[in-house]
Amino acid sequence: GSSVHAHALSQQGEHAHPMGRRGHGVGQPGLAVAQCVADISAAEFVSLDLEFSGLFLWPEGGQRPLTLGEYFRRCAESVPCFLPLQLGICCVCRREDGQGWELRAHEFDLWPQHRQIFSADLQSLRFLREHGFDFNAFFERGKQYARLPPPDAAKCTKGQPLPPASCILQAIREARVPLLVHNGFLDLLHLFDKFIGGLPDSLEEFAQIWTAQFPVLYDTRHLAQEGRYNVLKHAGGLSLEALHQHLRPLTRVHADLRHTGLRPDSFAHGSSGRDAVLTAEVFLMEVELWVRHWVSAASARKRRRMEREEDLRQSLEALDWQGTGWT
CATH class of 29-295: alpha beta
Question: How much is the pTM?
Answer: 0.81
- Please give the pLDDT value at position 323: 57
| C-alpha span between 236 and 239 (Å, rounded) | 9
Q: What is the dihedral of CA 161, 163, 167, 170, to 10 degrees?
A: -90
Burial track 130-162 (b if 16+ CB lie within 10 A, e otherwise): eeebbeebbeebbbbbebbbeeeeeeeeeeeeb
Percent of the chain whose predicted confidence (pLDDT) is above 90? 61
The domain spans of the chain are 29-295
> Among 237-241, 288-292, 302-306, 320-324, whose mean pLDDT is lowest?
320-324
> 25 burial class (0-12, 13-18, 19+ CB within 10 angstroms)?
exposed
State phi, psi for 277 to the nearest 5 degrees.
Answer: -65, -45
Q: How many CB atoms lie within 10 A of CB 284?
A: 22
Condensed to tens digits (0 to 9), the pLDDT of residues 79-111 reads 999 999 999 999 999 988 878 899 999 999 999
> Among 12-21, 175-184, 243-252, whose mean pLDDT is lowest?
12-21
Q: Could you tell me the CA-to-CA distances from 251 to 44, 222, 232, 243, 267 in Å, in that order?
A: 21, 19, 10, 12, 24
